[in-house]
Amino acid sequence: MHFYPTERVALFVDGANLYATAKALGFDIDYKRLLTMFRGKCHLVRALYYTALAENDEYSSIRPLIDWLDYNGYTMVTKPTKEFTDATGRRKIKGNMDIELTVDAMELADHLDHIVLFSGDGDFRSLVEALQQKGKRVSVISTLHTQPPMVADELRRQADQFVDLADLEQQIGRDPSSRPHQHRDAPPRSQAAGRAGNVAAAPVGPVTLRDDEEDEFADV
């Protein structure tokens, strides 16, 4: 993975996609270590994390992570999920953040030299091409070490640099014996409530639906 020390870099994290990729590889991401790694390689301008959140859930397993990220160097970009019923009568939830990520990447591009995309979604190939046409370098981080690969072939080919997430496990993986992120650096929930606009409610990535529900997550 090659970065120039003086180049301006931003990380764009497709939260649900990165979670699924790390889970398929059998390890958890330590987001503090991830930031530390990039800060040591380049001039890190911003790290943006995208996830859709379900407003009607009182509790979600991802809430502690969302809060921790929000207070520890990440810009959270969220939106409420949308529930619908498909033709077979099954309840499904839509929560795709592709448009938000794409718009932000294009708007920030003029202030960056290098964009790092944490996603294997082939829909981002056109975004990568558009950024390259603006003179920007684009790295894609996903994996080929799963069956099938988590990264779309067209996205990997378009990127200036492809980095396999499996190769970063020793640098950004969380120690399995350590406890999950506890948002020690964040204020208590009562104080954090005023920032609810930044963390709009429960996710489509790490969270699993309750056993008594038949919902399925679906892309928009």
Confidence tier at 94 by pLDDT (50, 70, 90): low
Least confident of 15-19, 65-69, 180-184: 180-184
Confidence of residue 92 (pLDDT cuts 50, 70, 90): low
Both tokens of 206, joined, read 């790490």
Average pLDDT of 119-126?
97
Q: Assign 3-class secondary structure to the chain.
A: CCCCCCCEEEEEEEHHHHHHHHHHHCCCECHHHHHHHHHCCCEEEEEEEEEEECCCCCCCCCHHHHHHHHHCCCEEEEEECEEEECCCCCEEEECCCHHHHHHHHHHHHHHCCEEEEECCCHHHHHHHHHHHHCCCEEEEEECCCCCCCCCCHHHHHHCCEEEEHHHHHHHHECCCCCCCCCCCCCCCHHHHHHHHHHCCCCECCCCCCCCCCCCEEECC
The strand pairing partners of 117, in sequence order, are: 12, 140
CA 211 to the chain's CA centroid = 25
Q: Computed from CA positions of residues 178, 18, 164, 9, in that sequence, does the dihedral angle turn out positive or negative?
A: negative
Of 15, 5, 11, 45, nearest in space to 138 by CA: 11
Answer whether residue 25 shows pLDDT above 90: yes
Confidence of residue 89 (pLDDT cuts 50, 70, 90): confident
- Is pLDDT of 105 > 60? yes
Nearest of 73, 172, 156, 169 to residue 121 by alpha carbon? 156
Q: Residues 67-86: what's their mean pLDDT?
A: 87
42-56, 130-144, 149-163: which range is least confident on average? 42-56
Percent of the chain with pLDDT over 70: 74
Give the start-to-end residue ranges of the domains of the chain.
8-218
CATH, range 8-218: 3.40.50.1010
Q: pLDDT confidence of 81, banded at 50, 70, 90?
A: confident
For 98-106, what is the mean pLDDT? 97
